[in-house]
Amino acid sequence: MLTTIEKVLFLVVVATALYYAWRNFRTVFLVIRRGTGDFPSREEIVGRLVEAGVKWLSIRPIWKTRTVASVFHGLVAWGFVFYLLVNAGDVLQGYFPIKFLGDNPIGSTYRFLADVLSVSALVGMLYFLVRRFVLAAPELGYRENVMLDPKVKAGGIRRDSLIVGIFILLHVGSRLLGESFTIALERLATGHGDGAQPFANGVSLLWGGLGTGALTFGQHAGWWLALGLILAFLPYFPYTKHFHLMLSGINFLTKPQRTSLGAIEPEDFEDESIKSFGVARLEDLPWSHLADAYACIMCNRCQDVCPAYVTGKELSPSALEVNKRYYINGHMQEMAAGAETPLLLEYVMSESALWACTACGACVDICPVGNEPMFDILYMRRHQVLMENSFPHELQTAYRGMERNGNPWNLSRRDRMKWAGDLEIPTVDDNPDADLLWWVGCAPSYDPRAQQTALAFAKVLNHAGVNYAVLGERENCTGDSARRSGREDLFYEMATANIEVLNEVKPKRIVATCPHCLHTVGKEYGQYGGHYEVIHHTQLLSELVADKKLSYDVQTDGAVTFHDPCYLGRHNGIVDAPRSLLEAGNIHIEEMPRHGKQSFCCGAGGGQMWKEEEPGDGAVNKARYDEARATGASTIAVGCPFCLTMMTDAAKSADEGVVVKDVVELIAESLGAK
C-alpha cells in the first residue's frame, strides 16, 4: 500500500520513536530499581505466567465493583490489547501487497474482531470522557482535606485523562476510517465491500462518490494517523496513566507471593549493618511499590472502600499512589540518577492520614491492577515509630503492656486464666497430648466482654467432647497490634518468644477465636520458622457440626446479620464457616451490602483499638453499625473480639436494642450453656 518514500519515512519515524521510547522506559526501570528488594527469579516468573496472563487479559480484579464502568473499561482494554495484533497487521499490509491473515475464515474472523473491538473501544472511551468531563463523577475526585500534589490540585489528572482519551479516539478512529477507505477501494474494483467488517463497511458507503485518488489518499492518511499516533505517543507513554496497561501485567507477574492478603514483610534485626528500619523516602519502598505508582489507574476504587476515607478522614490510598506518581514524573531523571527524595510525609500523605489506616486490606483487595497502598502505610509507620519515635501517645500503654505483661491491656500475666473461673480448662501441662491447642488470645483473657466469648467456646468444646488444651500463663500476645502500628521490634520479640513455646509444645492444630491471632500465628510466624496449622473457631465448630458432634437450634429475637471481620474474610478467605454455623442453627442471615471478602471494617485493626480515631466526619464502627442496622436485624453476629467491642460500643451508643454476639455465644446459649 505504501509508496517507497513512505516506507523509508516510516522506518525513520519508527527508529526515532523507539530511540526516545527506549530512553524513557530505561529511566523508568532505573527509578523502579531504586526500590529495595530483589526481582523475582526466572523460575518464579515462569511459574506465574499463566495465572498473571489470565488475570491481565480478563481484567478479573476490576469486576468487584462499579459494574457499568467495568463493562466500558473492558471494551477499551480488550480493544486496545487486540490492537497489538491489529497494528502489527497494518504495518505488514502497508509494506507488502497482502491481506493480513488472508481472505479466508481466519482472516475474516480477525477483521470482524478488529472492526467490532474498534467500535467497542471508541464507545468505551467516549463513556469515560463523558463520565469525567461532563458528568464530573464525584468518585473520581478527592476531598479538600486530602493531601494532593500541586499538579493534581491544578487538574493534572483531568489533563492526563483527556490526553489519553483523545489519543485513543484518534488512534482507533483513524484506523477505522482508514479501513473504510480500503473497503471503498475494494468496492470500486470488485463491486462489493467487506461483510466481515460491518462497521467499517457501513462507513465506507459514505465515500461512494469519491474517486480512486481521493480514496487512496484517505486510506494512506488513516494508516499514517493510526500508526503515527502510536509512534508519537510511545516515548510519552511512561508519563501517562495509560502506562497501567503494561505495569498491571508486570504487577500480576512479579508481586510477592504472600501467605495471605495481609502478610507484612519482616525486618532483619539480626543484621547489625542495617541502620534504618521502615520507609521514609520513595527509595526505601520495595521496588514493586514504586511500580505501583506507574500501575495506578487513578480510578479511586481503593478510597471508595477505605474506612478512613469513607468516614471523612485525611487518608486516601488512591492519593498516596497518585502523589507518588506525580512526584516521580516531575523528578524522573534525578531519581534515576540516584538523588535522594524528600520525606514521604512531606508530599504523599499527612501524619493524620498515616495513623488513620485500619490495615483492613480493602484497598489491596479491590485494586484492579494489584497495587498495595496499605503496605506503604505500614512500612512508613514502622519508620516513624522505630527511627523517629513518633506515634500517637495512646499506643504507649499498649506497647508497655506487651513488653511487661505480654498483653496490650497491661494487666498481670498471672491473671491470664482468671476468665475461666470455676470452669475446668485443661492446660498443655495437664493434657500434653491434646488434639487441639486453643490459642485463647489477649482479648478473651482480659476484656470482660470478650471473656464471655471464651466461656461460651469452652462450654461448647466441653459439650462436644473435644480433646483440647490451652497454654495458660505461657501464652503471650501475638504482637499483631504492635506490628501494624509500627513496633516491628516488639512484634519480633513476641513472635520469637511465642514460637519457642509453640515449638516446645508441638501442637497438632491450633484454634483461635480471634482472627488477628489466627492470621499472625498462622500466616506470619512462618517468617521466623514457626509453621503451624491454625483454624478459626467457626471452622472448628463447622467440623463438629459436620461430624454430628454438635447440633443446636438458635433462638433469637428477630433477624440476624453477620459482620465479617477483615482478618477473617478478606485477609484469610474464611467466609462460609460462620454462615454455615448460623444456618445450621436455623438462622436466616440478612446480609449487609458489604459482606464476605468485601466486608467493611469495624475500625479496630491496625492498632486503632488502642488509640483515638483521627478526626473525620464520623466513626468507622458507627458507619458499620448503621449498615448492619439497615438490614433490619436485631442481632449482629461477629467472629472477632475486636469487632465485638467496636460493634457493641456502636450499638450501645445508638441505644436501639440491637444485640451484638459472637457466633459461638449464640450456639452456647442454644445448648443451655449459660
Q: What are 307-316's pLDDT values in tens digits?
A: 999 999 999 9
Strands 635-638 and 560-562: parallel
By mean pLDDT, which of 62-71, 299-308, 406-415, 490-499 is the weakest? 62-71
- What is the model's pLDDT at position 544? 97
Closest of 358, 424, 382, 385 to residue 604, by C-alpha: 358
Stretch 540-554: mean pLDDT? 95
Helix (H) or strand (E) holding 670: helix 663-670
Q: In degrees, to the nearest 5, what angle opens at C-alpha 379 toward C-alphas 376 and 385?
A: 140
Stretch 63-85: mean pLDDT? 93
Question: How do residues 576-631 score in pLDDT, each as one tens digit?
Answer: 999 999 999 999 899 999 999 999 999 999 999 999 999 999 999 999 999 999 99
Distance CA 353, CA 629 (A): 28
**pLDDT band at 42, cuts 50/70/90?**
confident
Distance CA 78, CA 101 (A): 20
Closest of 495, 497, 500 to residue 483, by C-alpha: 495
Q: What is the reported pTM?
A: 0.93
Residue 672: pLDDT above 70? no
431, burial (CB in 10 Å: exposed 0-12, middle 13-18, buried 19+): middle
CATH 3.90.1150.10 fits 271-386, yes or no: no
Stretch 196-217: mean pLDDT? 94
Distance CA 364, CA 288 (A): 14
Closest of 345, 353, 287, 369 to residue 317, by C-alpha: 353
**pLDDT band at 673, cuts 50/70/90?**
very low
Distance CA 345, CA 322 (A): 14
- What is the model's pLDDT at position 119? 97
- What is the model's pLDDT at position 556? 84
8 Å CB contact between 499 and 522: no
Residue 344 corresponds to which cell in the numbers above?
514521604
Question: How do residues 225-276 score in pLDDT, each as one tens digit?
Answer: 999 999 999 999 999 988 998 999 999 988 877 777 778 889 999 888 888 9
In which residue are the cell numbers 501467605 written? 259
8 Å CB contact between 472 and 417: yes
* Neighbour count for residue 582 (Cβ, 10 Å): 22
Distance CA 233, CA 170 (A): 12
The domain spans of the chain are: 4-141+149-252, 271-386, 395-670
- What is the model's pLDDT at position 273? 87
- What is the model's pLDDT at position 674? 38
Stretch 305-327: mean pLDDT? 98
Stretch 454-461: mean pLDDT? 96
Stretch 669-674: mean pLDDT? 69
Cα atoms in the Cβ-side hemisphere of radius 13 Å centred on 459: 21
Residue 360: pLDDT above 50? yes
Mean residue pLDDT across the chain: 95
Q: What sign does the dihedral 239-240-243-244 (CA atoms) show?
A: positive
- Give me the phi and psi of 470, to 5 degrees please: -120, 165
